[in-house]
Amino acid sequence: MSRAVITGGAGFLGSHLCERALAEGHQVVCVDNLLTGRTENVAHLLDRDGFEFLQHDVSKPFEVDGPVDFVLHFASPASPIDYLELPIQTLKVGSLGTHNSLGLAKAKRARFLLASTSEVYGDPKEHPQKETYWGNVNPVGPRGVYDEAKRFAEAMTMAYHRYHGLDVRIVRIFNTYGPRMRVRDGRVVPAFVQQALTGEPMTVFGSGQQTRSFCYVDDLVEGIWRLLMSDLREPCNIGNPHEMTILEFAETIRAAVGSASPIVFKPLPVDDPQTRQPDITQARERLGWEPKVPLAKGLESTIAYFRAVLAEQRAAHV
Ligand code: NAD
Ligand code: UDP
């Protein structure tokens, strides 16, 4: 039986990956310092054979006893609100955390997979974004702490591949949504769904004409798993090319919830990318992967999840 270490395993994506790895018959060591994640995300796995939880900050050196076959490095604040509040931790986990995770993979002769991001393309001047595009990032802007940390993490990963011969994969994840996002993590899906469900105004930033392309978590996990098992050593975009404006997205969520929330416009955050859409030709050709879950279906389960969480929170306060 093989064994996977998943850093950031108690977060949104990490917890779904822990489940997938267990379902594929691997043992899982979930390493997380609970900075933006929660034990609730993996509470249902704690009693499962082959699942271990290790509370640790991966920006500090760490060891894992016994054999390790895969290291999946997902630890990092991921919501703009989180990484603006945690700039130093974000830079540290992308640099030192990546270095420590690569060191673990090297010591164990394990395959390493880095969770990178569409943010390495910054506010892109090429559209849609292919993996060959080098990006347009402001290194000293407030988002630079995340973008540059991930760009450094990619460079470090490729250096370990070239210098140490480490077997590496790099996934560039585009906006992904689904159950287990934190209600108040500030990203657009939890924000709009929570606002629509509670009848609060839906806060569209800027004119709402900026675009994003949203991928459902099950599709993303399938793409990551295929990449992990493939022989593709170059960075690979995984995301859903279905692009829409944020204003259209707000209207879609409002209709899906059946809400009467008004839409209000708030200032656009500094360096907010104007467009974003993955070119997934490589994933299609090399991994035989493309997203399958339509937005309406993905939103249905996401809305049901947030409805249940908000009901629990209300019950806890009465
Ligand atoms: P998340 O905030 O839910 O999960 C991140 C997890 O990392 C949390 O559990 C947090 O506690 C943990 N963590 C942070 N710093 C740590 C540290 N120093 N040591 C140990 N654990 C630490 O966010 P997510 O959406 O699940 O994102 C997971 C990964 O995927 C991140 O690396 C993120 O950059 C990347 N990503 C996500 C998206 C997306 O749309 N969700 C898009 C692009 C990239
Ligand atoms: N956004 C918004 N209202 C919100 C939260 C976000 O209009 O309450 C916008 C944000 O300005 C960006 C897009 O939605 O243009 C996606 O934001 P998110 O924070 O989810 O991720 P990003 O793609 O910017 O990393």
- All CATH 3.40.50.720 domain ranges in the chain, comma separated: 3-177+215-238
User: Mean per-residue pLDDT for 22-45?
Assistant: 97
Percent of the chain whose pLDDT exceeds 70? 100
pLDDT score recorded for residue 216: 98
Closest ligand 2 atom, CA of 81? 19
User: Mean per-residue pLDDT for 257-263?
Assistant: 98
The alpha carbons of the chain give a radius of gyration, in whole angstroms, of 19
User: Mean per-residue pLDDT for 152-160?
Assistant: 98
- All CATH 3.90.25.10 domain ranges in the chain, comma separated: 188-211+242-276+293-316
- The span from the CA of 217 to the CA of 225, in Å, is 12
pLDDT score recorded for residue 275: 97
User: Mean per-residue pLDDT for 126-144?
Assistant: 97
User: Mean per-residue pLDDT for 272-278?
Assistant: 97
pLDDT score recorded for residue 18: 98
Query: Is the predicted pLDDT of residue 173 greater than 90, yes or no?
Result: yes
Helix (H) or strand (E) holding 203: strand 202-205
- The span from the CA of 46 to the CA of 52, in Å, is 7
- The span from the CA of 73 to the CA of 9, in Å, is 9
Residue 318 — very low, low, confident or very high, per pLDDT cuts 50/70/90?
Answer: confident
- The span from the CA of 310 to the CA of 314, in Å, is 6
Query: Is the predicted pLDDT of residue 186 greater than 80, yes or no?
Result: yes
User: Mean per-residue pLDDT for 150-173?
Assistant: 98
CB atoms near residue 90 (< 10 Å): 26
Domain 188-211+242-276+293-316 has CATH 3.90.110.10: no
3-state secondary structure of 173: strand
Binding pocket residue ranges, ligand 2, CB within 6 Å: 79-80, 175, 187-188, 191, 203-205, 210, 212, 246, 269, 272
3-state secondary structure of 144: helix
Q: Give the closest residue to 63 by CA, choosing from 105, 33, 28, 34.
A: 105
pLDDT score recorded for residue 1: 83
Average pLDDT of the residues of the chain: 97
Residue 317 — very low, low, confident or very high, per pLDDT cuts 50/70/90?
Answer: confident
Q: Give residue 41 CA to ligand 1 midpoint distance, Å.
A: 13
- Annotated active-site residue in 83, 121, 133, 146: 146
146 included as an active-site residue: yes
Q: Give residue 95 CA to ligand 1 midpoint distance, Å.
A: 14
176 beta partners: 215
**C-alpha to C-alpha distances, 137 to 122, 147, 228, 246, nearest whole angstrom:** 4, 7, 27, 21
3-state secondary structure of 311: helix
* Count, residues in the chain: 318
pLDDT score recorded for residue 205: 98
| Joined tokens for residue 268 | 């656009």
Query: Is the predicted pLDDT of residue 52 greater than 80, yes or no?
Result: yes
Residue 94 — very low, low, confident or very high, per pLDDT cuts 50/70/90?
Answer: very high
- Global pTM value: 0.98
User: Mean per-residue pLDDT for 10-32?
Assistant: 98
Residue 75 — very low, low, confident or very high, per pLDDT cuts 50/70/90?
Answer: very high
Pick the CATH number of 3-177+215-238 from 2.40.50.100, 1.20.1270.360, 3.40.1350.10, 3.40.50.720: 3.40.50.720
Mutate to test the pocket of ligand 2, among 12, 187, 214, 270 (most ligand atoms within 8 A of CB): 187
Mutate to test the pocket of ligand 2, among 121, 177, 212, 243 (most ligand atoms within 8 A of CB): 212
